[in-house]
């Protein structure tokens, strides 16, 4: 295995695919990450996780042993989105294998993929966000009218979302109360926990956060990118807007005031640190004049060179190959720290 020196070649296993509904998005991200790591001068091994959950390398099923690593690589790069990849499950397995890996750890991954838990954490540290309610399927089935009455307090329109999905999958915008129960039923077909959010005024703004390496002048252990504004033609930023060609346009810098841009960056780092994230994250906001509201945090956003996160970092002076190289070095640095502290 290679050394951890700054100029050393790193051997990286790129994990892509997975069991979630974002399987195809992950495969696209994984292909781009492999190419970017090769461009950065590293050795890359592809690991594809099937929809059945089986891990394969070069077409052969992988068998792993706790404490024995993964394909003798230095770092694993889990380019996985949604449940069974971004929720702490794979991160826990990699910890058990004793493999350094890119991105958030077990607890931060689990918290940030659970939209309700993440918002509860943001409320606990008093970061501004839209009004919301979490609803469990069991409670709605047992007391539907009571739940609907409670949701009336949020006003209309509302957004109904499965709590553990990304890429805007399963989201319904509700304009009338009569449509709320069917929207909940639809969301419960994806997830037993649903989040219902009040609509927010203003524009959607996204900010990339990147961890700082030891010795860098970054007192908060992370740096925030230039914020970007997401412009889309539809009623809201849905799956098609995110992934269909021409579905959205990213304007960097966001067309908001300098003070609002500074506030976005401040809140992005605050959310990143409070949730225990490491390596990277994309934090999404609603901005209306000088009002900035945190929406959600994505620990492993889409990762092609033209994806929002990479575009934000590129506009902030970090090229795609350099970004990937830095994330792998951050992973190695974290592993050295853990070992120095008996972990």
| Token output for 121 | 């954490």
Picking from 164, 72, 149, 85, the residue whose alpha carbon sits closest to that of residue 118 is 164
C-alpha to C-alpha distance for 303 and 16, rounded to whole angstroms:
11
- Contact present, 122 and 268 (Cβ < 8 Å): no
C-alpha to C-alpha distance for 68 and 66, rounded to whole angstroms:
6
Residues annotated as catalytic are 22, 167, 243, 282, 284, 296, 298, 302
Long-range contacts of 125-129 (CB under 8 A, 24+ apart): 125/270, 125/274, 127/267, 127/270, 127/271, 127/274, 127/294, 128/267, 128/291, 128/292, 128/293, 128/294, 129/293, 129/294, 129/295
3-state secondary structure of 266: helix
| Token output for 308 | 């929002």
Q: Which phi-psi region, left, alpha or beta, contains residue 182 (left: φ > 0; alpha: ψ -120 to 50)? A: alpha
């Amino acid at each position: 295995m290679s050394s951890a020196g700054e100029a050393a070649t790193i051997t990286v296993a790129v994990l892509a695919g997975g069991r979630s509904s974002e399987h195809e998005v992950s495969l696209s991200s994984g292909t781009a990450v492999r190419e970017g790591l090769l461009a950065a001068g590293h050795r890359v091994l592809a690991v594809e996780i099937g929809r059945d959950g089986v891990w394969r390398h070069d077409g052969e099923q992988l068998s792993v042993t706790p404490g024995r690593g993964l394909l003798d690589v230095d770092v694993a790069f889990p380019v996985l989105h949604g449940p069974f990849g971004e929720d702490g499950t794979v991160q826990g397995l990699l910890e058990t294998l004793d493999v350094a890996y890119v991105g958030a750890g077990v607890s931060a991954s689990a918290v940030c993929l659970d939209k309700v838990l993440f918002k509860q954490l943001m409320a606990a540290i008093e970061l501004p966000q839209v009004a919301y309610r979490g609803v469990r399927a069991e409670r709605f089935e047992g007391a539907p009218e009571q739940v609907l009455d409670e949701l009336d307090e949020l006003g209309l329109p509302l957004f109904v979302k499965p709590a553990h999905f990304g890429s805007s999958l399963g989201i319904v915008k509700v304009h009338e109360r009569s449509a709320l129960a069917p929207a909940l039923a639809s969301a419960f077909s994806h997830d037993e926990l649903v989040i219902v959010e009040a609509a927010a005024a203003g524009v959607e703004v996204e900010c990339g956060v990147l961890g700082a390496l030891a010795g860098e002048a970054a007192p908060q252990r992370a740096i925030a990118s230039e914020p970007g504004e997401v412009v889309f033609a539809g009623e809201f930023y849905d799956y098609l807007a995110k992934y269909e060609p021409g579905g959205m346009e990213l304007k960097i810098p966001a067309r908001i005031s300098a003070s609002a841009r500074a506030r976005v960056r401040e809140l992005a780092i605050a959310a990143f640190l409070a949730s225990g994230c490491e390596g990277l994250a994309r934090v999404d906001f609603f901005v209306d004049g000088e009002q900035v509201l945190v929406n959600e945090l994505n620990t492993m956003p889409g990762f092609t060179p033209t994806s929002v996160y990479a575009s934000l970092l590129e506009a902030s002076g970090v090229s795609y190959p350099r970004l990937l190289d830095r994330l792998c070095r951050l992973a190695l640095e974290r592993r050295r720290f853990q070992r120095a502290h008996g972990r």
